[in-house]
Amino acid sequence: MTTSRQQPHAGHPRQNPAGSPAGSAGTTPDAAAAGADRPRGRRLTGIDIARGLAILGMFVAHLGDDGPEGRHDPEWFVVADGRSAALFALLAGVSMALANGRGTLPAGAVLARARLTTLVRAGILLLMGVFLVGLGTPVLVILPAYAAMFVLALPFLGLARAWLLLGAALVAVVSPTVIFLLTTERADGGPSPLASVTGEADPVELPMDVFATGAYPALVFLAYILLGMAVGRSALSSLRVQLALLGAGVALGVLGWGTSRLALDALGDGASPLARRLVSAGAHEYSTLEVVGNCGSSLTVIAVCLLLTRPGNPVGRAFAAVLSPVAAAGAASLSVYSFHIVAIFLLGNDIVWYPVSNAVLLWFIAVALAAAWLWRRFLGRGPLERLLRAATAAVVGPAPPPAGQRTHRPSVGA
């Protein structure tokens, strides 16, 4: 993700991350399932590792060294640009499904409670995001947009996988197209419809807009949320499902980025700004083809992480053990994300604007992974994850026991 420095270097904005959308099976801080302070039950370690990798990508985007031309140094760090935010959003959708029935669709009172819980969490994430934005770091904080994504996802919480996939496809096509039509200058050089109304420069980026023109447009990111919910309603422990995710991920990546490359070459340099914007798949362009490509990379990462950590064989258990610090960071993604912004605030914005090497990046990664592993090992759930869960329970009430589970009552003589 090219994300988060505001940009002393052309083409490399440094204001963004992908922060993240725990309950059993890898639910995230922003979509935490009910449970004790210590995680209970089997988590999908691969989901936690995928989320942890998204955090590392966010660190790279914010703190990695830039070469003399404003490019990543080393250049392969470009893999983090745009993809980390998409992976975080897609995993937030996975977590929403895992926290709300998994393969069993919520309905009736259960669905109403799920929507209320999601709405409350969105409000808490918005407050956290406003606080982090107020620190004034050069990081484009994703949490306010995350809150908007959660609100947009409310009508979809009770839908089956096929409808979620259809919704994701429609959002990926319609949202970028409508936004680009409204915010991109015309072929004759005239202002876009929205620029004509607001007086803003094209392409229009309205201040404080988290839905359409901001750094993380929720109307576009909803496609990742819905696809993630469809993934979360799948049997993620199944080898067949994992291989299907891998195949779909590779196919979508080739379709999105390959089609974009061919279309840009066919259009040539004389194409209108709107035409080039519609077919560009560059990081943070938020076109349909970028969304398709990012969905592909996200599914591929999730599939590989699940395949590498299958618990039924020694190799899977070995990978899970080796990558446990990354999994711990992923399980506490809200805390790791938020604290790294606070650390940037305390250390000064120059570590983002003017990195002279990747030493600061490596220190951030080492401290984050060590702290997350130790916290999870001895204290369980992350600190902000606990706060989010407690605040949600205070408003919504504790989660009811699973169906069929009775509350223990002592006998009369006890």
> Using one digit for the tens of pLDDT, what is the confidence trace for 121-135?
999 999 999 999 999
Q: How high is the pLDDT of residue 312?
A: 84
Residue 374 scores a pLDDT above 50: yes
The average confidence (pLDDT) of the chain is 86
d(Cα 220, Cα 212) in Å, to the nearest integer?
Answer: 7
pLDDT the model gives residue 28: 41
Specify the pLDDT at position 402. 56
Residue 113 falls inside a structural domain? yes
Closest CA to 234 of 225, 224, 245: 245
Mean pLDDT of 365-381: 96
Domain assignment present for residue 63? The answer is yes
The total number of structural domains that make up the chain = 1
The two structure tokens encoding residue 328: 């711990």
φ/ψ of 72, rounded to 5, equals: -60, 145
Other CB atoms within 10 Å distance of the CB of residue 398: 9
Q: Which one, of 210, 205, 296, lies nearest residue 259 by Cα? A: 296
User: Taking phi first (over 0 means left), then psi (-120 to 50 degrees means alpha), and beta for anything else, what does residue 235 get?
Assistant: beta
Q: Is 272 within a domain?
A: yes
Q: Which of 34-38, 230-234, 297-301 has the lowest mean pLDDT?
A: 34-38
Residue 38 lies in a domain: yes
Q: Is the dihedral of CA 138, 298, 39, 310 positive or negative?
A: negative
Peptide bond into 203 cis (omega under 30): yes
pLDDT of the residue at 223: 98
Question: Which structural domain range is residue 131 located in?
Answer: 29-396
Q: What is the pLDDT of residue 400?
A: 67
Q: Percentage of residues in the chain with pLDDT exceeding 70?
A: 84
Determine how many CB atoms are found less than 10 A away from the CB of residue 54. Answer: 30
> Is the model's pLDDT at 39 over the cut of 50?
no
Q: For 158-179, what is the mean pLDDT?
A: 97
Tell which wins on pLDDT, 194 or 68.
Answer: 194
Q: Retrieve residue 331's tokens.
A: 């399980």
Alpha-carbon torsion (299, 381, 37, 345), positive or negative? negative
Distance CA 152, CA 219 (A): 8
Neighbours of 316 (CB within 10 A): 17
Asked if 270 contacts 279 with a C-beta cutoff of 8 angstroms, the reply is no
59: closest CA among 344, 286, 331, 370?
344
Instruction: Indicate whether 15 belongs to any domain.
Output: no
- The CB density around residue 406, as the number of other CB atoms within 10 Å, is 6
Enter the pTM of the model.
0.87
Q: Is residue 36 domain-resident? A: yes
In a domain, 16, yes or no: no
- pLDDT of residue 414 exceeding 60, the answer is no
Judge whether 319 and 313 are in contact, CB under 8 Å: no
Q: Does residue 413 fall inside a structural domain? A: no
Query: For 61-75, 189-203, 261-275, 342-356, which range has the lowest pLDDT when averaged over its residues?
Result: 61-75
d(CA 390, CA 312): 34
Does the pLDDT of residue 30 top 70, yes or no?
A: no
CA distance 126 to 129: 5
